[in-house]
Structures are given as structure tokens and as C-alpha cells.
Amino acid sequence: MGKKVNITEVVLRDANQSQIATRMPRSDFEDILETMDQAGYYSMEVWGGATFDSCLRYLDEDPWERLRFIRSKVKNTKLQMLLRGQNILGYKHYSDDTVRAFVRKSVENGIDIIRIFDALNDPQNMAVAIDECLKAGGHAQGTICYTISPIHTFEKYVELGKKLEEMGCNSICIKDMAGIMSPQICYDLVSALKKNIGLPVYVHSHTTTGLASMTLLKAIEAGADGVDTAISIFSGGTSHPSTESLVYTLNEMDYDTGVKLDVCKKINDHFKPVQARFLKEGGLNPSVLTTKIDALNYQIPGGMLSNLISQLTAVDKLDKLDEVLIETPKVRKDMGYPPLVTPMSQMVGAQAVTNVLLGQRYKSISKEVKSYCRGEYGAPPAPISDELMKLALGDEKPYEGRYDDLIEPEIPGAKKYLGDLAESEEDVLSYVAFPQQAEAFLKKRREKKALKVSYTIREAE
């Protein structure tokens, strides 16, 4: 066989996040984990992104326990997670003590590879997480969020790649969250990174626009060391290229993926009834399974588009969608061309909706956009427009240094507040990340334990 290509299976994280809003409970995959471990994947993305929030908010699961369970069943395959740098898994910046503890505990609970990104591609927003991942013995994968704008050039991406290498990253990932990276651009970008840095390069893309399968193939031809795919029943649309299709193609081209297609069939057969249930019960909207070529014009990721549609539907203004799609790139330009990835996609999208619905640009500015203008999310890729800065901050001057240095340690106060409701450091971290959801979950857990003890005593009597 020829050159080795690593395959990362994303059905347990990004594929189900992209298609069914991360609503897959542990019961849907616990019986297939040992089979997945035999498939020959390089890694399985199983945690991070929206999984943490979704476990607490919708699934009544402890996200840490979910991770420990997966680790107990997956012995041979690396486990991978997505981390938003200083945002960890939330939507704001957290204190350095929180970021360090979260990263350390992620590795302790079973994560091997942490893909660390920042919504602004600001290296200082990734620095603490990268440093702690390396100290904890994890594999730190530094990330370049791909987007298109007048200021996002090959030179800038290569510069960021070099910086991430200097920071000690073990590998680099090009993250194309909107599926807008063309095959040729990907070939040229991977080639440029391979020429200029000495780290393995991975490529992540979504099939939103229909380009991703071709894009991943060109990435591999350019020398990419690995790519992300989803088992076929949860592939396509806003998800990712099909694992089986790409492995079949690479086998014919004499690449060595190590992935066994007969095992993939067992995995896919397991997930078929899961997908059918979500379709039947409405958790999977068929619209997310189609190709949306407009994303090439508006650069709006699939998840962000769904969000805009739901915001407009909630106020019975879906007829304004085209105006919002035209307004979104304008807001993005005013904000200095941030890549449209969490939390910037939510920020830009919500502001575009507000501008259109109020019939006047920036008549009302969200507190998140004001915080962004103040410098609380790091350095914007390009200067924010003077008009927006004036409307958002008035005469207030933006913060020049690293804003995170101003955030007081969060863990001591959380420990004190929770008291014996927290049974571990992981419980405290859950609360710091998502206070309301975690507190409700911990209280419910305590009630369940009390009921169980009461029931056991009655049984004994």
C-alpha cells in the first residue's frame, strides 16, 4: 500500500451536531463503541463542541461520565475533542485557571487529541489551552479556521501555521466549517503549509456546498496527513463526506487508510435505525441533508443558516431571510471579517437579523458585539469599522492588551457556591462552563441518589 492517510470518524460529535443538533444520547451508540474501536480509524471525535452543553441541557447526562464510558469501551483508537481555546466549550472567554483545569481534566478523563481553535484565529486565545494540553500529555492540534475575505490570504494562513508550530502544537488542522474551501484552494493551501512547516496537516470540511469530498481528495493529493469523515448514514448535507466512500476511493488510489470497510458496514447498520428515528420524530430536518450552494456566496455555515431561519420563524418574519443573507456579509465586514464559527457566527448573524428587522443598521447593538468591539474576544482579523465602533462604544476606548488577564480566577468561587453539591472537580468545571444547566443537573442527580437510598432502605426493611 502507498502513503498512510489517517481517518477521523466524527459521527459521535460533529456529524450528529451538524444534522441533529447534538441530540444523540449515549444509549444510541453505547453498543457499537467496541465495534468502532476495531474499524481502524486514526481517531474518533467524541467530545467538545456542543456535546457538553447538550448533555447537560437536553440529554440529562453528565458529559464527563459520557467521556469516561466511551474511553472504557474504546481501547485502541485515539479519542479526540474540539475546544474553542479561551472559550473552552462555552460562548465567552473564561479565566486561565478554568481553561487549564478543563484541558487537564479532559486528558485525565480519556481525551488523547485536543483540536484547539479560536473564532478569530488569534493565537493568544489558543496559547493557554495549547500549553496545558502539552503539559497534561495530550496531543495539541492547532487550528486554522478557513474563511474567505480580502485579508485572509495564503500568507496569513501560513504565518498562523508557523506560529502554532512555534507554540508547540503537535499537528495543524485546517477547519473549513462552512464547506466553502474549493478543491484547488485546499490543494494549494495544504501544499503551502507542508512546504513551510514541519507538522502533520489535517483537513476538516463540511458537505454543505457539495465541495467537501473533492476538497478532501485534493488535500490528500497535496500531502495532507489526515481528514475527517462521517459514517455514511450521518454524512452529507451540513455534515461531512462519507467515511466508506472516501476509504473506497483511497483504496483504489493505493493510499493506506487502515480502515476496514466490512467493520464500517456494521457501524453504519447500527446507526441506520437511529437516523430513521430522528427523521420520524422531527429531530432531523430533511433540509439539512441537501446541498446549499448559496453558502459559497454568503459563507454562512449550515448550523448558522438553521439558526437564522429559526430566529426569523420565531417572530414570523421568514420572508426577510434574503435581506438577512445580504446583510450578514456586510456586518461581518464591519466587524473586521471574523471567520463565521462559534461564537462569531452567532454574534454576526443575530446582529444582521436585528439590523433587518429594525429597518436601521445598528439601531440596537447586542451586548456581545459591544464586548467584541471592546476587545474582550481578542484581536479582530481586520480593524472594526469606525461607524460600528462609535455606535457600540461611544467615547470608550477598546482594551489594547490581553483581555483574559483581567478575568479573575473562577474556580474558587464556584467551589464555594456549590459546596457538597459538587462531588468532583469535574462538577465544578461543568458549573463554571454552564452555571444554570449544571446546577440543575447536579440538583437532579442528588435527588435521584436520595430516592435510591430511600428505596434501598425500604427494601431492606
DSSP states of 353-369: HHHHHHTSTTSS--HHH
How much is the pLDDT for 298? 78
Read off the pLDDT band of 313 (50, 70, 90).
confident
Q: What percent of the chain has pLDDT over 70?
A: 97
Judge whether 62 and 26 are in contact, CB under 8 Å.
Answer: no
List phi, psi (to 5°) of 221.
Answer: -65, -30
CATH number at 294-404: 1.10.472.90
**In this predicted structure, what is the pLDDT of residue 460?**
60
Which pLDDT belongs to residue 342? Answer: 82
* Average pLDDT of the residues in 344-365: 94
Entry pTM: 0.94
Coil/strand/helix, residue 241: coil
What pLDDT does residue 53 have? 93
What pLDDT is attached to residue 454? 64
> What is the model's pLDDT at position 304?
78
pLDDT-above-90 percentage for the chain: 84
Rounded CA-CA distance 424/436 in Å is 18
Q: How many angstroms separate the CA atoms of 76 and 171, rounded?
A: 20
Residue 232 has pLDDT above 80, yes or no: yes
The CATH fold of domain 6-281: TIM Barrel (3.20.20)
Q: What is the pLDDT of residue 432?
A: 97
Per-residue pLDDT of 167-212, as tens digits, reads 999 999 999 999 999 999 999 999 999 999 999 999 999 999 999 9
* Contact of 77 with 36, CB cutoff 8 Å: yes
Q: For residue 371, how many other CB atoms are within 10 A of its CB?
A: 16
pLDDT for res 1: 62
As a whole number, mean pLDDT of residues 67-80 equals: 98
Q: Does residue 128 have a pLDDT over 90?
A: yes
3-state helix, strand, coil in the chain (%, to 5): 55, 10, 35
Q: At 81, is the secondary structure helix, strand, or coil?
A: strand
Task: Compute the average pLDDT of residues 37-64.
Answer: 96
- The pLDDT score that the predictor gives to residue 286 is 87
Which is more confident, 448 or 62? 62
Average pLDDT of the chain to the nearest whole number: 94
Whole-angstrom distance, CA of residue 98 vs CA of residue 86? 9
| pLDDT bracket for residue 458 (50, 70, 90) | low
